[in-house]
Chain A
Amino acid sequence: MACSKKPVANPAIVLREEFDDWGILFNPDTAAVVAINPVCVAIWKLINGQNCVNEIVDEIQDCYSNVPLAAHDEILEFIDQLAKDSYVGYEL
């Protein structure tokens, strides 16, 4: 996936946030449920069709301290996986 493309969250997917800052991504059409950690919750909220992957990475690096160098690749991998599972798409 090109890092300049802007991912968009599937509007059918529900994000449930819990007290411990973890979240659940729930697909009501399939009943599939995925638990995501607080960083992934923050990434999910940035997947709004207005931020490309590089911008999302920059935003995460601004929000958190001690962000590892591998963060860029890991965020890319996370968004890639979301796209494979149809949680995320891209504007044509």
Chain B
Amino acid sequence: MRTPRNVDVEITARCNLRCRYCYFFDNPAVDYRDLPTDEWLEFFDELGALGVMNITLAGGEPFIREDLPTLIQGIVRNRMRFSILSNGALINDEIAMFIAATHRCDYVQVSVDGSRPEIHDSCRGKGSFDRAIRGIRTLQRNKVKVVVRVTIHHHNVHDLENIAQLLLENLGLEGFGTNSAGYLGTCRLNSDDVMLTIQDRQAAMEMLLQLTKKYGDRISAAAGPLADARIWHRMEQARAEGALPFPNGGRLTACGCANNKLAVRADGEMVPCSLLPHLEMGQINRNSLVEAWQNSPILRELRRRQSISLKGSKCCIGCAYIPYCTGNCPGSAYSQDGEVNHPSRDGCLRRFLQDGGTIL
């Protein structure tokens, strides 16, 4: 497409929390500083002129910015919609009311990692659970659509049933998304304590599949144990039946982000994705976004990733799942092995089985 439809904007490098598995912080490639209001407004004008449709505001913690209403007005003035990713702790009635009044907010996503404070706070800090729930209720009270992301880690993996009950029954949310703590950012420093072991992963997969029988599509996953359980089941079934390769199988096709969106770091550097912050494509307002989108060698290379065969990777030699595998997230691959054009170890079914996991 001529220009991206969506842009992920890390609107701030500041956060009121320091979560132990955060992908954002502790990345040596990133310059953690904020841009002034005018820089973002000028950028939003450019996005509006290019017909960008949606902006996702992330960070850091977007609600920490005192000028958030001004920035949102800039988005609205430029005929775009927005969503916000948040820890929920700084949301009050005033800002929630403001957001609702724009009629342009698709959702505010709040992170909840436990059914009670001890579990959620274990990775997010004391008091963060109560503030997240308060934030959710504030958004609901002001009729702002709330979605929740549950990041599954070693300390909450056995709390999933209670989390589902809290979110879907007690809070009455339409649904929630799941993911797991990945080897990125701050998590790299705490991985032994925070990341899922093979047993944890197995337990999470089993529990989430069970919960989806009860709650249906109210529990979703683009990545993490539930997504793995589903795709790995399909892959194993295909392998056992000797099925034809999947249409997108056998190549690094998992990530399509480079084809419809890009991201901007808090310091204004354009990058393909927040999980590939080292791939710098130019500074907003100094370099043309259209030029970066259409001609950046970095994006061109990422788009060519879909033609790279898994057979060329040493770690895939002899793997029976190649025809059905798509290589998983390039950001995860880079963080683990220093290579973007490489399958991700986290998403490897063969490795999971070799480590003692079983397909459900």
- List B305-359 residues whose CB lies under 8 Å from chain A: none
Q: Is the CB of A26 within 8 A of B2?
A: no
Chain A residues with Cβ below 8 Å from B51 are 14-17, 24, 26
- Closest Cβ of chain B: how far from A8's Cβ, in Å? 16
- List A31-51 residues whose CB lies under 8 Å from chain B: 31, 33
How many residues does chain A have at the interface if contact means C-beta atoms less than 8 Å apart? 14
A92 CB-CB contact with B under 8 Å: no
B1 CB-CB contact with A under 8 Å: yes
| B48 to A, closest residue via Cβ | A14
A18 CB-CB contact with B under 8 Å: yes
| A13 to B, closest residue via Cβ | B79
- List B172-202 residues whose CB lies under 8 Å from chain A: none
Q: For the complex, what is the distance from the CA of A33 to the CA of B104, rounded to whole Å?
A: 14
Q: Is the CB of B2 within 8 A of A19?
A: yes
What are 13 inter-chain pairs, A to B, with CB distance below 8 A? A13-B79, A14-B51, A16-B51, A17-B2, A18-B1, A18-B2, A19-B1, A24-B51, A28-B80, A28-B104, A29-B103, A29-B104, A31-B106
Nearest 3 interchain pairs by C-beta? A16-B51, A28-B79, A14-B79
Q: Spell out A's residues near B (CB within 8 Å).
A: 12-19, 24, 26, 28-29, 31, 33
Please give 9 more A-B residue pairs, beta carbons under 8 A apart, in addition to A19-B2, A26-B53, A33-B53: A12-B79, A14-B51, A16-B2, A17-B51, A28-B79, A28-B81, A29-B103, A31-B81, A31-B106
